[in-house]
Amino acid sequence: MNETAVDQTGSTETAKIIYILYLIGIAVGITAIVGVVMAYVNKDTAPEWLKSHYHFQIRTFWISLLYGIVSAILCLILIGFVLMFVVLIWWIVRCVKGLKAIEQRQPIADVMTWGF
């Protein structure tokens, strides 16, 4: 039983690290890539409630990449600059939401959402 508690704590720490890497990724983009790789590696071995965090992190990465590409294209007509700021806020809110849920040891309520 002690090993299970250690495994779940370790997994929780990994998920926290991924959220932190995502936030650092705002300034240093490569850390977000490291974070999504870590999420892919850990998603299959995690407890069920923690799998929702890994799926949420993976979706956050890919959806933000899509939003970022669309925003970059729309920079040609200037609206993209505003959208990039919105994507940044969206990214931060999702990371904070995930960190809050992980601290409370709760799963993410709606993993499949494209919003917050």
In a domain? residue 19: yes
Residue 111 lies in a domain: no
Per the domain annotation, does 114 fall within a domain? no
User: What angle do the packed helices 48-74 and 30-42 form, to 10 degrees?
Assistant: 150
Nearest to 62 by CA among 41, 82, 43, 35: 35
> Would residue 112 count as lying in a domain?
no
- pTM for the complete prediction? 0.87
**Segment (H or E) for 85:** helix 79-103
Beta strands in the chain (DSSP E): none
Q: At what angle do helices 2-24 and 79-103 cross, to 10 degrees?
A: 160
Summarised one tens digit per residue, pLDDT across range 63-97 is 999 999 999 999 999 999 999 999 999 999 999 99
Q: Give 24's contacts (C-beta < 8 A, 6+ positions apart).
A: 31
Domain that holds residue 32: 2-103
Give CA–CA dist 24/47, Å, rounded.
26
Total residues found in the chain within this entry = 116
Give how many domains the chain has, as a whole number. 1
* Mean pLDDT in residue range 103-114: 88
Residue 7 has pLDDT above 80, yes or no: no
Whether residue 115 lies inside any domain: the answer is no
